Structure 1
Amino acid sequence: MTRSWSNGYVADIAYIEGFYVQQSPARMALACLCGNVAIDLPEPDDSACYLELGCGCGMGALLIAASNPAWQVVAVDYNPAHIAIGAGLARAARIDNIRFIEADLAQLAGSAAAATIPTADFVSMHGLWSWVGADVRAGIIRLLAAKTRPGGMVHVSYNALPAWQGGIGLQRLIYEAGIRSPGRSDLQAQAGLALAREIKQAEGRYLTESSLARDLVDATAGMSHEYLSHEYMAADWAPAFHADVAAAMAQAKLDWVASANPLENFPELMLTAEQRTVMDRYKDPIMRELIKDMCLPRQLRHDVFVRGARRLSNSERDAAIAQLTVVPVVSPDELQTKIRVPAGMAEMGDPLKTMMATAMRGPAKIGDLLALHDGRSNPAELVSVLVGSHQCQIAMRQDGARADTADRLNRVLGSRVHSIAEARTTGGLASSQLGTGLTAPPLVQFIAARLLGGEREDNVESWIEALSADVVPEKHDTVRSVVCAAIEQRVPILRQLRIVPD
């Protein structure tokens, strides 16, 4: 691992390209409304600023920029390789409303580079907080205080305690064994993991009796080497309690609001009746979250903060949620009305099933769905179930006209897919209607790019040929089956979201 300038942070291998829907402005806005906090979502032609700290290769920031051409997007990372990758994709797609900045977040606040960053309406940090030292975290707080506008929303994801408690020893073992091994950080992580597996095989108590450590050792076998090196080989890696993160954010006048994972905001879905009874003894939200974290295996938190929370009454919250529009991101035959949650299997009642089925037919305003049941259902519950179950997303723009920037980025992303065996994690496609990305695996990116290039889905044989170059002949029928299923299920969604032409 290079240490001359990285100060123990993994910088000799690029992080995985990733799109995480919790970073989207609509998810931050929904978290605020679920937390009874007022929001100011930009109108379709309004300008806004989205700032991502620790952007990695910049996939999330690129999707935001391409989906919102009137916005300014600024993406900051310490690793010049990440900046080069993101800036290269922006050039290839001719996206000129995004700027990539290579900077040390410990020193960025107050610098000449920081002076060029607009005050942000939305800020996101995915994973960064857990992988940097105290000096960088302090620099982040200074930057947030200076660059988050009043009313602005901040998303922070991080490895959470106490759920990560059982994995702390494993990370230390992998790290210490790794830094004593030659090669890049990905090879060092593999050396550390090999030692962990050997100790587990020898029935080392920690790796056999700690369920998290035991499961992590097994799970890492199928994870990308890039992810593992960044997760386990950062010198300052440290999971955190929610209360400590909230206290740090308070120094930037940021109030914790809710989770960007909507279902987590409903104790009835997360906790048993007995656990809710204990939690309900407390009104303080920080204490309630600590009790919730004591009851849930929540290893990664997605918290949303607001700089200056304007509190809403329940009726005001419900009225605001009723104005939201949702669009389906799965086909109608994929509708799930039974959802597995920590408290058990949640089965939707008949009124909610009717509203969910109606939502699957196309864009629908939450208020109109509620009218199907005389408006007696809980608006926050309805939208959280639809969005939290990954069956709908919130539409930032109801007209959803395609932006040229979105088309160009989607063509670039799809043009990089040359095999059905490619396995980039959590890829996406830009959507003007969503105002963010649609989660899309490489195959769907490939299909979207071909459709944007003027081809039709009856070209399937040429698509199969293009995707099968490195697939053995006896597997070509499997490729055909997978491609045809993707065309049948995903292309109607792409057309409904106007990501591809009709």
Structure 2
Amino acid sequence: MNASWSSGYVADIAYIEGFYVQQSPARLALACLFGNVAADLPEQDDAATYLELGCGIGIGALLTAASNPGWQVTAVDYNPAHIAIGAGLARTARLDNIRFIEADLAQLATSAQADIIPQADFVSMHGLWSWVSKEVRAGIVELLASKTRPGGIVHVSYNALPAWQGALGMQRLIYEAGIRSGGRSDAQAQAGLGLARDLKSVESKYLTESSLTRDLLDTTVAMSTEYLSHEYMSAHWAPVFHADVVAAFAEAKLDWVSSANPMENFPELMLTPEQREVMNRYTDPLMRELIKDMCLPRQLRHDVFVRGARRLSNEARDAAMRRLMVVPIVSPGELQTKVRVPAGMAEVSDALKDMMVAAMHGPTMIGELLALGGGKNPAELLSMLVGSHQCQIAPHADGKQPESANRLNRVFGSRVSSIVDAKTAGGLASGRLGTGMTAPPLLQFITGRLLSGEREDKADRWIEMLSADVIPEKHDTVRNVVHTAIEQRLPILRGLGIVPD
């Protein structure tokens, strides 16, 4: 069972590691531009500040600190195990610009601990808001009011209504059955899911009529027990409407700006023509978002707020977007110009396709890409390149990789001992991105080896090491996967300065 101090949260098993690009400073600044709001993106060595609440073990915070050695990063979590792991990684990588704090967010704003937290340029909360009590949410708002500087950007993700409406009963069933089964939280989650699947098999009305519950019960079979425990076994689990989050954050003088997922800001990609016609009856952005949420299966929202929004005209916004640099994070042969979106398959125009192809050749300014293809809409180009996860914003495209980033990447690589090991999935720090690049364990392993002075001609030795717990019949598969990663991913890592040329 959970420890007595857990207050209804899952505290007896650590949350999964992960890097979520929506938390990166460059992505948050881009979201502001999509919402016609000015955003400052400090340099690597500026005295900027980043605050993460509910950080888990702090992979994102570590990547931000390592990629921006001049910044001060603060990572806060309620679970001391999370803080111990994160602080240990920071010590091993010798990162002196990140502080991990164990604290109860319900009380942090009025505690002595708050005195050591500087006002933040960026604040991020991933997977926190809809899993905590109303007292904690009130404490978060109080902390945001005092610790977000004027002009500061805040990111929050949460389980959204009405998308989760059909699964409210499923979660309650899993939770109630789980807490009655005893044992650790992961065992409780499995017991609850087992009951839900049994009821689904006998045609339970509320587990079969909803496509969401049917899909969730099918997909959870392959999900990690750590994720399932934290998702379903919190006593405070409560999906929320976007308008309610906006109202809560308004108490901290925070204005909602846009989604951190670029494509979600374009109704043409999200809604059918008929749905857009209904939405266009309204100019109120909150009403438009509610209509959008009524039409989309958007279970998890990534919203961006600003404390003191500096509004931009369309012309000023477009000018700022044209100055942005993008870098490819897929190989040219992997470029996709057809993207599946809720409104169907989005197939780009020939002109936009030409610009996307040009972007695959290395760091390029959006204005230069538009000039190549005769384009006039930087927002459309950015939404396709960044929103399809084929490029990232590179605020320091020509910068050198900080040694702090190399140290952290070596630490991440050293933790991978098998190609089937998923526990260290997360990212790799890049000074040019000012954040991390999403990277599976295999890429972390290869990066660590290259940063330790080895070359890719040692691949046979790498394959032997990574295959230690793989059955012999699968060794050829491991070989193919490693060589494919070297051929397709190594040029990208070199282009981002993550590994040396």
- Does TM-score exceed 0.5, indicating one fold? yes
**What amino acid is the match of 2:486?**
I
Matched, 1:465 2:464: yes
1:155 counterpart SS class = strand
The answer to whether residue 378 in structure 2 is matched with residue 382 in structure 1 is no
**How far does the alpha carbon of each residue in 1:380-422 deviate from its partner, in whole angstroms, 9 at most, with x for none?**
1111110000000000212230111100000000111111111
Q: Which residue of 2 aligns with 1:272?
A: 272
Match of 1:259 in 2: 259
> Which residue in 2 is equivalent to 1:33?
33
2:352 equivalent to 1:352: yes
Please give the per-residue CA displacement for 1:57-104, whole angstroms capped at 9, x wherever unaligned.
111100100001100000000000000000010011111100000000
Secondary structure of residue in 2 paired with 1:109: helix
- Separation of aligned partners in 1, 2:424 and 2:93: 21
Aligned to 2:4, the other structure's residue is in SS state coil
Classify the secondary structure of the residue corresponding to 1:264: helix
CA–CA distance in structure 2, aligned partners of residues 107 and 55 of structure 1:
17
| CA distance in 1 between partners of 2:109 and 2:134 (Å) | 15
Say what the alpha-carbon RMSD is for the aligned residues. Answer: 0.9
Structure 1, residues 26-52: CA drift from partner, whole Å, max 9, x if none? 111011000000111113431100000
Is contact 2:412–2:424 with CA below 8 Å preserved after alignment? no
Structure 1 match to 2:191: 191
Q: SS at the partner of 1:372?
A: helix
1:438 match? 437
Match of 1:11 in 2: 11
- d(CA) in 1 for partners of 2:72 and 2:303? 23
Is 1:424 aligned with 2:419?
Answer: no
Shift of 1:427: 1.2
Residues 44, 431 of structure 2: 8 Å contact kept: no
The answer on whether the counterparts of 1:410 and 1:430 sit within 8 Å (CA) in structure 2 is yes
SS at match of 1:243: helix
Q: Which amino acid aligns with 1:95?
A: L
CA contact (8 A) 1:31 1:258 kept: yes
Q: Distance in 2 between matches of 1:498 and 1:355?
A: 24
Runs of 5+ consecutive residues of structure 2 not aligned to the other structure: none
Aligned partners of 1:135, 1:274: CA distance in 2, in Å? Answer: 41
1:133-152 equivalences in 2 (<5 Å): 133-152=133-152
Amino acid at match of 2:336: Q
TM-score (norm 1): 0.99
Post-superposition shift, 1:371?
1.0
Q: Deviations over 1:193-236 (max 9, x none)?
A: 11111111111111111111111111110000000000000000
Q: Match for 2:43: what amino acid?
A: E
Q: How far apart, in 1, do the equivalents of 2:352 and 2:271 lie?
A: 21
Aligned to 2:297, what secondary structure does the other structure show? Answer: coil
In 2, Cα distance between the equivalents of 1:439 and 1:44? 20
Give the match for residue 476 of structure 1: 475
Contact 1:424 1:441 in 2 (8 A): no
Report the equivalent of 2:332.
Answer: 332
TM-score (norm 2): 0.99
- Aligned partner of residue 156 in structure 1, secondary structure: strand
Q: Which runs of 5+ in 1 are unaligned?
A: none
Aligned to 1:201: 201
Structure 2 Cα separation of the partners of residues 386 and 398 of structure 1: 16
Query: For 2:178 and 2:385, how far apart are their aligned partners in 1?
Result: 43
Which residue pairs with 1:407 in the alignment?
A: 406
Q: Distance in 2 between matches of 1:44 and 1:180?
A: 50
- 1:167-178 alignment runs, 5 A limit: 167-178=167-178
Contact 2:151 2:309 in 1 (8 A): yes
Task: Quote the Cα distance in structure 2 between the aligned partners of 1:197 and 1:3.
Answer: 28
Q: Is the 8 A contact 2:29 2:41 kept in 1?
A: yes
User: Is the Cα contact below 8 Å between 1:52 and 1:75 reproduced in 2?
Assistant: yes
Deviation at 1:425, TM superposition (A): 7.1
- Where has structure 1 moved over 2 Å in runs of 4 or more? none
Aligned to 1:405, the other structure's residue is in SS state helix
Q: Give yes or no for contact 1:400–1:497 (8 Å, CA) kept in 2.
A: no
1:249 paired residue number:
249
Number of the residue aligned with 1:495: 494
SS of corresponding position for 1:14: coil
Report the residue type matching 1:349 in the other structure: S
CA distance in 2, matches of 1:243, 1:195: 34
Deviation at 1:3, TM superposition (A): 4.5
The CA distance in 2 between the partners of 1:220 and 1:476, in whole Å, is 28
SS in 2 for 1:52: strand
SS at match of 1:99: strand
Q: What amino acid does structure 2 have at the position aligned with 1:282?
A: Y
Mapped partners of 1:61, 1:396: distance in 2: 18
Q: 2: distance between equivalents of 1:395 and 1:110?
A: 38
Find the counterpart in structure 2 of residue 52 from structure 1. Answer: 52
| 1:153-178 C-alpha deviation (Å, 9 max, x unpaired) | 00000000000001111100000001
CA shift digits 1:312-355 (9 cap, x unpaired): 00000000101100000000111111111111111111111111
Shift in Å at residue 443 of structure 1?
0.3
Which residue identity lines up with residue 485 of structure 1 in the other structure? T
On the 8 A contact 1:46/1:70 being kept in 2, the answer is yes
* Distance of 1:263 and 1:219 partners within structure 2: 25
SS in 2 for 1:51: strand
CA distance in 1, matches of 2:214, 2:362: 44
Which one-letter code corresponds to 2:346 in the other structure? A
SS at match of 2:100: strand
Q: Aligned-pair distance for 1:373?
A: 3.0
SS in 2 for 1:180: helix
Contact 2:44 2:69 in 1 (8 A): no
Aligned partners of 2:373, 2:335: CA distance in 1, in Å? 19
Alignment correspondent of 2:341: 341
1:447 aligns with 2:439: no
SS of residue paired to 1:412 = helix
Taking the aligned partners of 2:325 and 2:425, their CA distance within structure 1 comes to 24
C-alpha distance in structure 2 between counterparts of 1:315 and 1:484, whole Å: 46
Equivalent residues of 2:44, 2:434 under 8 A apart: no
Q: 1:222 to 1:425 in 2, by over 3 A?
A: farther
State the alpha-carbon separation in 2 of the partners of residues 19 and 66 from structure 1. 14
Contact 1:71 1:97 in 2 (8 A): yes
